[in-house]
């Protein structure tokens, strides 16, 4: 495949934890994203999965430069976003757009569809003001909405239609990369399928690259070429979607895959489920060594210290020091 369009090198995003009211002092840091390196190829869909609190949304916001990075670099076509001035980041954002989870919250209720979709066009002066109406109409058709609804407000649309508006807004500037943060989690199954089809079609038709964040592994497997699994701010497994989700190797990925209910009563009742004990630990004070070791059935002393690197294993990268001993087929 071609060279990467988006490259993340050792991204770290930490937030200070403060205490006190008058004399605020820092008592710790939340390492929301802690050393993530990834690359997104042109035209590729990269799925990013993990449970709530694992840092996947923070990573998305870091890529968009909506939160300051603590360390590492984000390269979009070789341009460094982390060290650019605010003005040039604005400019780079034309190529990098985002779709958010909740279409009820991400659209301004006081703006009509036209105003919502025209704003990026006018701000970035993409087309002469006279052509804005035509362009907005084209955008709406692109996402499967009739242009006659241009003057309607978000509340007049259903959840799926709102998500289409949000996607149209992201497409307005003809970006090269779209970051979609849980774009279908708030939608019903039948509507979910419509939005997934739309995203897949847009990727194909417009040659987009997509970072698709979700917690639903079956959705991610369907749409993604490659998948990265995150746990407590770090990537624990990275490989092709089919490899990772059908034959997971990292103990955490195995547990995650095994936790998905299968819509088939015979399969569902026959299979052995790995039920993890407890909740993910707090990212304020993550366990040493492999962050998963307190919940891992295979953990030994060697897992409790040191830095666990991603190593190549069975066509993928896995961050587990015992992976050779505990391999499954």
Partner 1 sequence: MPLLTVTDLRTYFHTRNGVYRAVDGISFHLDRGETLGIVGESGSGKSVTGYSLMGLVPQPPGRIEGGSALFDGVDLLHCPPAALRAIRGKRISMIFQDPMTSLNPYLRIGEQLIEPLLIHEKISKPDALKRALAMLEAVGINDASSRLRSYPHEFSGGMRQRVMIAMALITKPELLIADEPTTALDVTVQAQILELIKKMQRELGMAVIFITHDLGVVAGLCDRVLVMYAGRVVESAGTRTLFRQPKHPYTIALQRSIPSTQPKGAELFTIPGMPPDVSKPINGCSFAPRCAHAADSCTTRDPKLAHITNDHEQACLRVQAGEL
Could you say whether residue 272 binds partner 1 (CB under 8 A)? no
The answer to the question of residue 200 lying near partner 1 (CB under 8 A) is yes
CB of 246 to partner 1, least distance (A): 9
User: Of the candidates 20, 109, 128, 263, which one interacts with partner 1 according to CB under 8 A?
Assistant: 263
Q: Contact between 276 and partner 1 (CB under 8 A)?
A: yes
Q: Verify binding: residue 130, partner 1, rule CB under 8 A.
A: no
> Which segments of 77-225 are extended strands (E)?
79-80, 96-99, 177-181, 209-214
Cβ neighbours of residue 86 closer than 8 Å, sequence gap 6 or more: none
> DSSP letter string over 48-81?
EE--TTSSHHHHHHHHTTSS--SEEEEEETTEES
Task: Select the residue interacting with partner 1 from 17, 105, 133, 259 (CB under 8 A).
Answer: 259
Per CB under 8 A, which of residues 150..189 are in contact with partner 1?
A: 158, 160, 188-189
Interface with partner 1 (CB under 8 A), residue from 2, 265, 325, 329? 265
Both tokens of 226, joined, read 């490659």
Q: Is 148 in the site for partner 1 (CB under 8 A)?
A: no
Query: Which residue in 191, 183, 132, 182 sits closest to 157, CA to CA?
Result: 191
The strand pairing partners of 209, in sequence order, are 177
Asked whether 177 and 6 are in contact (CB, 8 A), the reply is yes
Look at strands 45-49 and 316-318 and give their pairing.
unpaired
Q: Can residue 19 be called a binding residue for partner 1 (CB under 8 A)?
A: no
Residue 261 found at the interface with partner 1 (CB under 8 A): yes
Does residue 85 touch partner 1 according to CB under 8 A? no
Does position 213 interact with partner 1 (CB under 8 A)? The reply is no
75 is a contact residue toward partner 1 (CB under 8 A) = no
Nearest approach, Cβ of residue 161 and partner 1 (Å) = 8
Specify the 3-state DSSP secondary structure of 244: helix
Using CB under 8 A, pick the residue from 196, 238, 291, 320 that binds partner 1: 196
Among 1, 21, 205, 279, binds partner 1 (CB under 8 A): 279
Nearer residue to partner 1 within complex by CB, 12 or 215 = 215
C-alpha separations of 161 from 33, 146, 213 in Å: 32, 11, 20
The most distant pair of C-alpha atoms in the chain lies apart, rounded to whole Å, by 68
| Total residues found in the chain within this entry | 329
How far apart CA 11 and CA 37 sit, in angstroms, is 6
Given a contact cutoff of 8 angstroms between Cβ atoms, the answer to whether 165 and 143 are in contact is yes
Q: Judged by CB, which is closer to partner 1: 242, or 307?
A: 242
Of positions 151, 264, 285, 300, contacts partner 1 by CB under 8 A: 264
Establish if 242 lies at the interface with partner 1 (CB under 8 A).
yes
In order of 16, 80, 103, the CA distances from 111 in angstroms are 35, 33, 14
Least distance from partner 1 to the Cβ atom of residue 108, Å: 23
| Site residues (vs partner 1, CB under 8 A) | 51-52, 158, 160, 188-194, 196-197, 200, 215-219, 221-222, 241-242, 255-256, 258-269, 273, 275-277, 279
């Amino acid at each position: 495949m071609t060279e990467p369009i988006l490259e993340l090198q050792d991204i770290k995003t930490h937030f200070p934890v403060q205490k006190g009211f008058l004399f605020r002092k820092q008592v710790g840091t939340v390492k929301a994203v802690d050393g993530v390196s990834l690359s997104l190829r042109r035209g590729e869909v990269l799925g990013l999965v993990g449970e709530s609190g694992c840092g996947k949304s923070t990573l998305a916001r870091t890529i968009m430069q909506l939160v300051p990075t603590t360390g590492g670099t984000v390269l979009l076509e070789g341009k460094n976003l982390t060290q650019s001035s605010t003005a040039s980041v604005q400019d780079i954002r034309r190529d990098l757009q985002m779709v958010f989870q909740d279409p009820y919250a991400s659209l301004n209720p006081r703006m009509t569809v036209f105003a919502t979709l025209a704003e990026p066009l006018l701000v970035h002066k993409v087309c002469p003001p006279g052509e804005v109406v035509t362009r907005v109409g084209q955008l709406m058709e692109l996402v499967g909405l009739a242009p006659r609804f241009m003057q309607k407000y978000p509340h007049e649309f259903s959840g799926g239609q709102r998500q289409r508006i949000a996607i149209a807004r992201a497409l307005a500037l003809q970006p090269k990369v779209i970051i979609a943060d849980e774009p279908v989690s708030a939608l019903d199954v039948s509507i979910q399928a419509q939005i997934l089809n739309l995203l897949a079609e847009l990727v194909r038709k417009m040659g987009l690259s997509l970072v698709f964040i979700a917690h639903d592994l079956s959705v991610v497997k369907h749409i993604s070429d490659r998948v990265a699994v995150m746990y407590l701010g770090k990537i624990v497994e990275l490989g092709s979607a089919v490899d990772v989700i059908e034959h997971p190797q990292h103990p955490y990925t195995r547990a995650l895959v095994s936790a998905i209910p299968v819509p088939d009563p015979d399969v569902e009742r026959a299979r052995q489920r790995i039920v993890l004990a407890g909740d993910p630990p707090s990212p304020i004070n993550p366990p040493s060594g492999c962050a998963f070791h307190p919940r891992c059935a295979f953990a030994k002393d060697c897992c409790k210290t040191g830095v666990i690197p991603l190593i190549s294993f069975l066509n993928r990268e896995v961050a587990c020091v015992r992976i050779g001993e505990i391999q499954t087929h």
